[in-house]
Amino acid sequence: RQGIIQSSKMFLVANRLEGKKVESSIRYLSDMEAVFMDKVAFSALDPQQPVYEVDCYFPVADNKSGGLFFGLTRIFPGKVGGEFFMTKGHFHSNNDTAEFYWGIKGKGLLLFMDKTRKVWAEEMTEGSVHYIPGNTAHRVINTGVEMLSFGACWPSDAGHDYGSIEKEGFSARVVEKDGKLIIIEE
């Protein structure tokens, strides 16, 4: 039958997602004032400095149950004071929805936090695969000196709840001190 083969619409090219339906966004330092601990170091930096970029592919409408979304995130290398650049981090607003992350390039830490504020972390490297259970906040920290890229796949009805992390933060911070990576727990 003619027309049975449809051309693929999405491509991964040099750590970027390309295709007709890609939605890209950039988070700048100015979007992340509440995130970093050292306010003095923060105010000395350029607010227009990009911290991370996200390309998303939404094959179905937001909030539709049964679908999947796909994302690629690239976190720039950098620090505010001793604290590494990272994503804002969030719970899913439809709380009991899970997600996969996988490392593509660079190195970092994936920080998890459950509703009791218990935290744990997994090392993200090229090829690492991470399952984020439901009811668990997730944030990625670029602990390296190059761009950290990772992929994500999550249910289309997951939604994002940034509010509680914006207010309360995670109960652990990842910083470099005297050339060593340390995790400060609250």
CA separation for the pair 178, 157 (Å, rounded)? 43
Q: By CB under 6 A, which span of 85-93, 108-116, 117-125, 176-184 interacts with ligand 6PG?
A: 85-93
Q: Work out what residue 87 binds among Ni ion, ligand 6PG, none; the CB cut-off runs from 5 to 8 Å by kind.
A: ligand 6PG
With respect to ligand 6PG, which residue has the nearer C-beta, 89 or 103? 89
β-partners of residue 108 are: 124, 142
**Ranges within 63-102 binding Ni ion (CB under 5 A):** 99
Q: Work out what residue 109 binds among Ni ion, ligand 6PG, none; the CB cut-off runs from 5 to 8 Å by kind.
A: none
With respect to ligand 6PG, which residue has the nearer C-beta, 4 or 89? 89
Contact code string over 95-124 relative to Ni ion, x by CB under 5 A: ----x-------------------------
Q: How many of the chain's residues bind Ni ion (CB under 5 A)?
A: 1
- Return phi, psi of residue 80, to 5°: -115, 110
DSSP 8-state class, residue 169:
-
**Ranges within 155-184 binding ligand 6PG (CB under 6 A):** 158, 160
> Distances in Å between the alpha carbon of 162 and those of 7, 88, 117?
36, 8, 15
Q: Which pair of tokens denotes residue 105?
A: 């390039």
> Is 61 in a helix, a strand, or coil?
coil
- Which ranges in the chain belong to alpha helices (H)? 39-43, 163-168
Sign for the pseudo-dihedral over CA of 49, 54, 55, 58: negative
Say whether residue 86 binds ligand 6PG (CB under 6 A): no
**Which residues contribute to the site for ligand 6PG (CB under 6 A)?**
54, 71, 73, 87-90, 99, 138, 152, 154, 158, 160
